[in-house]
Amino acid sequence: MSVVLITGAATGIGNLTARALATAGHTVFASMRGIDARNAAHAQELLDIAERDGVDLRVVELDVTSQESADAAVRTVLRATGELDVVVQNAGHLYVGYVEAFTAEDVTHLFDVNAVGAHRVNRAALPHMRERRSGTLVYVGSTTTVVVPPFLGPYVASKFAFDALAMVTAYEVSQFGIETTIVMPGAFTKGTEHFPNASHASDDGVTRAYAGLDELVARNEAATTAMFRPDADADPVTVADEITRILALPVGAKPARSVVDFLDSGVEEVNAVFRHAQEQFVTRLGFEQLLTVTR
């Protein structure tokens, strides 16, 4: 069993993953901002589950927009257990609206949370993993980086950046025995607080200029729901279950990507073509060793 740090575990996929991994026998540190303030109730709920179910599920403060906070969270894990085997990079936020109406400050903030935040956590965790020459990085990405839906522009762009950092980091850390998997959830319209807690563009004037499209935005969630297969049980717990399955696989058997999608979006097919081109290019560069995890 592994010692696991999960970011963004107050609600949604991160919260479900913390519960699933703890139930599977892992030592789980569920991290979030404001464990004594804004997320105190969520933190206490996880601690209550740990006591009720007899699982090793703990809570740690971590704000991914702060390197100091990320460093402190990793130190807390290492002081408590002496090791850190897995980081699940899940923290993220959603923006909904017209791209032009988001200010540069809006977009910069979202990139800071969704992409740079993961990099901060990696910088805190990777020195320990590199020294041990083992570890696993799991990134909770998004199928939006393939299908690129409308009205989510800054979010999709930030997930592209998140994905790119994950891939290039994977090349480099593979030479220190560290595995990487990018899990790509499709849309979920229930079971998370992604849409209810979404932020909107700051520039109201530009937003009004796009008023002719408001009807499309208003039915975006309903349109997504209508795309689910009739027999689909589109529950975000399926993502938690997939992460649990992946972490149970032996070293060298973990997939580079895994898609959890109930919309039949064709993402697996695109990923296969993309992976083939990526491997060919890296091999032609003479860097094929970066495609294999070495210890």
Instruction: Provide the residue ranges of all domains of the chain, joining segments of one domain with +.
Output: 3-291
Q: Give CA–CA dist 120/107, Å, rounded.
A: 18
Mean pLDDT to the nearest integer, 164-185: 98
Judged by average pLDDT, the poorest of 94-98, 188-192, 232-236 is 188-192
Whole-number Cα distances in Å, 52 to 18, 25, 46, 241:
15, 15, 10, 21
Record the pTM: 0.95
For residue 193, the model assigns a pLDDT of 60
More confident residue, 82 or 230: 82
Q: Give CA–CA dist 189/52, Å, rounded.
A: 30
Q: What is the pLDDT of residues 231-289, one digit of tens each?
A: 777 889 999 999 999 999 999 999 999 999 998 899 999 999 999 999 999 999 999 99
Q: Are strands 178-185 and 27-32 parallel, antiparallel or unpaired?
A: unpaired
Phi, psi values for residue 202, rounded to 5°: -80, -25
Which of 279-283's residues contact partners 24+ apart within 8 Å by CB, and which partners? 282/171
Q: What is the pLDDT of residues 191-245, one digit of tens each?
A: 666 666 788 889 999 999 999 999 998 888 788 888 887 777 788 999 999 999 9
Mean pLDDT to the nearest integer, 119-135: 98
CATH architecture observed for domain 3-291 = 3-Layer(aba) Sandwich (3.40)
Mean pLDDT to the nearest integer, 8-25: 97
Give the residue from 65, 83, 66 showing the smallest Cα distance to 74: 83
Residues 6+ away with beta carbon under 8 Å from 77: 3, 5, 29, 60, 84
Average pLDDT taken over every residue of the chain: 95
Mean pLDDT to the nearest integer, 89-97: 95
For residue 16, the model assigns a pLDDT of 97
For residue 191, the model assigns a pLDDT of 60
Block residue for tokens 């800071």: 112
